[in-house]
Amino acid sequence: MNKKNSQSLQEEHAFDTTLQLEYLLFLPNSYDHLPDKKWPMIIFLHGAGERGNNLGLLKKHGIPKIVEQKPDFQFITVSPQCPKGSWWTHELRLLNELVGEITNKYEVDTNRIYLTGLSMGGFGTWSLASMNPKCYAAIAPICGGGEPRQVAQALKNMPIWVFHGAKDTVIPADRSEEIVKELKPMNGNVKFTLYPDADHDSWTRTYDNPKLYEWFLKHSK
């Protein structure tokens, strides 16, 4: 299935295996004019509130919202939608296969694939990167968490920028801090931005900050 929404910069697609995973795909506005160019790619994992079968929900936050406002955004972006009632940590195989399909189908620079997500998507970012760390050049988990020792062992060589709000009562900042503390003694390439005045929404200012994308592009496998 390939549905085109003429009012959007992002195309709606569905990835079929034994289950269906729908996603938004954004291609930079100069993509078709530069056929020999290989493009960096960002995989974005949304939070729990955007699960279901309405891809329009994804445009409320994060990368899908950003690219609707910036058609000159210089990354291919893929924003899958988690099925209702599921969690990203339960869909890792499908996500991994989706990334493989996109890299085969489009002009992706496989040395510059980046992964980020917020809340439930922050947990998914830690987990998906841990499952296949060789796929990603850098990751940016926002207000997420994971099993600290397991994640740190898998990602000790990964460039990571972690974000969380100090006043977050939905997912306490300790969930990010615990992983960062495990990575530090391993000489992990990690930095942690803790917003002292932010609650659960630590993602709006993060994705609005051009320095995040500059940081991504500094990293290549």
Alpha-carbon distance of 28 to 34, in angstroms, equals 10
- Residue 196 sits at the vertex; the CA angle it makes with 192 and 198, to the nearest 5 degrees, is 100
- pLDDT above 70 covers a percentage of the chain that reads 93
Alpha-carbon distance of 106 to 84, in angstroms, equals 28
| Residue 166, phi then psi, degrees to nearest 5 | -65, -25
- Is 60 exceeded by the pLDDT of residue 16? no
Condensed to tens digits (0 to 9), the pLDDT of residues 28-63 reads 999 988 888 999 999 999 999 999 999 999 999 999
List alpha helices for the chain, DSSP H.
Answer: 62-69, 92-105, 120-131, 148-155, 174-183, 204-207, 210-217
Alpha-carbon distance of 107 to 114, in angstroms, equals 15
**Domains observed in the chain:** 10-217 (3.40.50.1820)
Alpha-carbon distance of 122 to 143, in angstroms, equals 6
- Residue 166 sits at the vertex; the CA angle it makes with 162 and 68, to the nearest 5 degrees, is 55
- Is 70 exceeded by the pLDDT of residue 73? yes
Q: Please, what sign has the CA dihedral across residues 43, 128, 171, 156?
A: negative
**For residue 154, what pLDDT is reported?**
97
Alpha-carbon distance of 186 to 7, in angstroms, equals 47
Alpha-carbon distance of 90 to 39, in angstroms, equals 29
In this prediction, residue 6 has a pLDDT band, given cuts at 50, 70 and 90, of very low
**For residue 4, what pLDDT is reported?**
36
- Residue 92 sits at the vertex; the CA angle it makes with 46 and 29, to the nearest 5 degrees, is 50
As a whole number, the mean pLDDT across the chain is 92
Condensed to tens digits (0 to 9), the pLDDT of residues 165-176 reads 999 999 999 999
- Is 90 exceeded by the pLDDT of residue 8? no
Burial class (CB in 10 A: 0-12, 13-18, 19+), 132: middle
